[in-house]
Structure 1
């Protein structure tokens, strides 16, 4: 395997693990994560950051999955 491909595989696996860990973290409705007495503006800011991180992880994982499929000679449509 080429060094670039090894690095891409390692990054893909790291992102996969992080996405699973992130999914196991408290949900946004969890009162411990967003206490009801927290200022509504702060609560929304925290929620937006949480959802933004999740979206970024999902996007990065899809991007690596696409690149991995292309490296293996598959088209995107056949990889899905």
Structure 2
């Protein structure tokens, strides 16, 4: 998997859809995901696994969020590649 590191930015969010589920994302995350998608090869079988904290951690579940935050260092450490988005 690859992990995405980015600046969350302000409190403003916009809805995005992941696996038919609405997720509120910051405009900076939307920009990062859009850029990554545009740079993906146009092969129908190409697939990448991307770990993004705002998507992979249930932000509304305080228990899960507290537990997962402790694992973030290991998640980045074990990623095949860490992508950094500066905006």
Q: TM-score, normalised by structure 1?
A: 0.30
With CA pairs under 8 Å and 6+ residues apart, which has the higher RCO, 1 or 2? 2
Q: Larger radius of gyration, structure 1 or 2?
A: 1
Provide the TM-score with structure 2 as the length reference. Answer: 0.28
Report the structure, 1 or 2, having the larger helix content: 1
